[in-house]
Amino acid sequence: MRDLEEGHAYLKSVSVKGYMNNIAKFDSIWMQEHDRDRNNRIRIKLQPWKEDNALVKNSRIWLDSVIKGNKKRVRTLVLVSDTKMGKTEFVNDMLRDLKVDEFRGHFMLDGHNENVRYDIRLFDDANLNDITWPEFKSLISTRGEQITINIKYSHVKVTSIPTILVLNPGSWKALQERAKEFEDFDWLEKNTVVLQTNEKLYIEPPPKEEAVRDKNKYDGLDPKLVEMLLENEVEEDVNLDDMGDDTIDDLNDIIEELEEESMPLHGT
C-alpha cells in the first residue's frame, strides 16, 4: 500500500466493523513507521572512522555482542567526549541499519508506541533529569522487561532494550552524582561500559587546494564561522527508509484478522 489513505480504503472494503475497531492501532503503527520519511532529510558526508580508536573499536564489539546475543542483562554503553569529536555522527552511522528508539533534548514518552520493535535505545545528549532515577535504572538494566514510566496525568509501558548513552564529560559526571544520591554509584559502575576519548573519531582529510586558496576571502570573519563554511557540505538524502519486516508483520496481522472476519461461515 502506497499511502495511509489507500490502507484505509482497503480495510473498509474488507470489513467496515473491523475497520472501526482497528483503525487507531493501524494508524499508530503506520505513523510510527513513516515518521522519519522526509524528503528533506540531510546527512553529513562522513570521513572514514579511526577503527583503531578504543571508543570506535569497543563500541562495534559491544553492538555486535548485544545484537547477536540474548542475555537478559546487558551493560549500557556510555560514550563520553567533548563536542566536535564526532561521537554523534559515529553512533548514527554505526546504528544506521537498526531500528533505534532515539531521544535528544527532553526525554518525552507521550507518543511512545510499543508496537514498534526497536533494536537499540539511544540517549544522545538527552536531559535525563526528565525521568526519575528508579525508572531510568529499570529501563537500562534489563532486556525485554515491561517498565512503567510516569508521564503527565498518566503512564506508559516501555520495554527495556540495550541502551547507549552519548554524553559530554559534564553530563556523565552529573549522572554519576545522581547515582550517588540514590546510593547506586557502584551499581552504575558495574552495569555500564564507559568509553572515553580525547581525539576525533574520524580521519581528517588533508586540506583541499581550493579551500586553502579560498580561505583568504574569509579574512576577518569569526574563526568558528570560517570553520563551518569550510566543513563538508550537506546534501539531501532522497532515499526513504523501507518499512521494517516487523512492522509489515504487524500490519499484515490486522489485515488478516479483518479478512477472516469478513469470510462467510460454513453452513450459513
The 10s digit of each residue's pLDDT in 186-241 is: 999 999 999 999 999 999 877 666 655 666 677 777 877 877 776 644 333 433 34
How many of the other CB atoms lie within 10 Å of CB of 229? 13
Backbone angles phi, psi at 192, to 5 degrees: -135, 150
Residue 191 CA to residue 16 CA, distance in Å, equals 50
> What pLDDT score was predicted for residue 148?
82
Query: Which of 76-80, 202-206, 255-259 has the highest average model confidence (pLDDT)?
Result: 76-80
> What pLDDT score was predicted for residue 57?
97
- The mean pLDDT value of the chain amounts to 78
- In this prediction, residues 22-30 reach a mean pLDDT of 67
Q: With cut-offs at 50, 70 and 90, classify the pLDDT of residue 34.
A: low
Q: Which residue has the cell 564507559?
A: 194
Residue 57 CA to residue 195 CA, distance in Å, equals 10
Q: Which residue has the cell 508521564?
A: 151
- Number of Cα atoms under 13 Å in the Cβ half of residue 43: 14
CATH architecture of the domain formed by 42-205+228-239:
3-Layer(aba) Sandwich (3.40)
DSSP-derived 3-state class of residue 179: helix
Longest dimension (CA), the chain: 88
- In this prediction, residues 159-187 reach a mean pLDDT of 95
How many of the other CB atoms lie within 10 Å of CB of 74? 21
Q: With cut-offs at 50, 70 and 90, classify the pLDDT of residue 36.
A: very low
Backbone angles phi, psi at 221, to 5 degrees: -85, 160
Taking only Cα atoms into account, the Rg of the chain, rounded to an integer number of angstroms, comes to: 23
Domain ranges (residues) in the chain: 1-37+242-263, 42-205+228-239
Task: State pTM to two decimals.
Answer: 0.65
Q: Which three cell numbers stand for residue 236?
A: 539531501
Find out whether 103 and 122 touch, Cβ atoms under 8 Å.
yes
DSSP tally for the chain: helices H, then strands E? 10, 9
Between residues 221 and 30, the one the model is more confident about = 221
